[in-house]
Amino acid sequence: MTTTVRMPAAEAVGRRAAQILDMMREHPGWERLNGSSMRYSTCWATFTGYPTVAQWSLERDAAPLLVEAVRVLALKAAVFELTGGDEEAAELLVPAPVDEMVHAVLAQFTLMSQMQADLGVIFPHATELEDFGYTSGCITDDYYTAAGWGVPPARYWLDAAEVDRRLAILNAHYGSVGIGRGGRSHDLTFSPDGSPQLAAV
């Protein structure tokens, strides 16, 4: 993140983020938000975020990742508010697995819009400003800890260098079955009987 704005103090962000998260939990749409965010799991499984978690399992990891995602949304909302609406400042460094769950939550557009209106809070997210350069000990961690949530769980809060290392391993495996560019292309054809086959080179 390259912002020209002076980032707000950790104590202020942490205090406000904790308040925002409490408000979200008290909102009548909270349970629906949790359920809806995980309901269409087959739609938001990807090649480059969730699979970087060791021994990734949707059934085991979806709920804890959802906890991290709503915390991130509260932190980003607090920074956005405390900087007078600066989207760049609010686009905090977040690891890929957590960011993917943030997308799953924000996909509940109607509910999130209603929650924003009811709470008087904006949950900013600008894809063009995303930077996956998260490293432990950065300002995001300071904000997270100041909110009273302890230390971000290392299982999901992976440093960018470790994500890159794991992606290289994953891409080698993907490539062996014809899947390229982190799942953004493949060399598979589909035969009339429905079986996938590698295209002839």
Contact (Cβ atoms closer than 8 angstroms) between residue 83 and residue 13: no
* Residue range 143-157, pLDDT digits in tens: 999 999 999 999 999
Examine the pLDDT at 121 and tell me if it is beyond 80: yes
Other CB atoms within a 10 A radius of the CB of residue 118 amount to 12
Examine the pLDDT at 181 and tell me if it is beyond 80: no
Examine the pLDDT at 3 and tell me if it is beyond 50: no
Assigned token pair, 163 = 């994500």
Examine the pLDDT at 200 and tell me if it is beyond 60: no
Across the strands, what pairs with 186? 179
Examine the pLDDT at 2 and tell me if it is beyond 50: no
Report the C-alpha dihedral over residues 17, 23, 26, 29, rounded to 10 degrees. Answer: -100
Least confidently predicted of 72-76, 81-85, 97-101, 129-133:
129-133
The predicted model gives 168-189 an average pLDDT of: 78
Examine the pLDDT at 4 and tell me if it is beyond 70: no
Assign 3-state DSSP to the chain and report helix, strand, coil percentages, each to 5: 60, 5, 35
- CA torsion through residues 139, 94, 78, 81, sign: positive
Q: Which residue has the tokens 């990807």?
A: 46
* Residue range 55-87, pLDDT digits in tens: 988 888 989 999 999 999 999 999 999 999 999
Q: What is the pTM of this model?
A: 0.86
Other CB atoms within a 10 A radius of the CB of residue 3 amount to 15
Please tell me the predicted confidence (pLDDT) of residue 81: 97
Please tell me the predicted confidence (pLDDT) of residue 73: 98
Terminal-residue alpha carbon distance, the chain: 41
For residue 132, name the pLDDT band (cuts at 50, 70, 90): confident
Please tell me the predicted confidence (pLDDT) of residue 1: 46
